[in-house]
Amino acid sequence: MANTNCLEGFVCPHCRSEGPFDITAVTVATMYDEGCEKTCGMEWEVSSPCVCKECGHRGQVGNFRADEAVFA
């Protein structure tokens, strides 16, 4: 089943999994000595590191876009 939310259009170019993926993202967090209270938003770029949790394939987010993926 194709992703229809945050990962819409994502697919692993190696195993064709639709996720989950580990994506290195930037967020804003309210931090205290005791820990994090909340986070606000999250952003990543096409060049952000991405790892398929299914097979371990590593690349950039742009490589995991179904319209850009070159399947191995």
- How many Å separate Cα 45 from the centre of its chain? 10
Model's pTM, two decimal places? 0.80
List the chain pLDDT tens, one digit each, 72 residues: 588 898 999 999 999 999 999 999 999 989 999 998 878 788 999 999 999 999 999 999 999 988 765 655
CB atoms within 10 A of CB 11: 22
Q: What pLDDT score does 22 carry?
A: 97
CA distance 47 to 36: 27
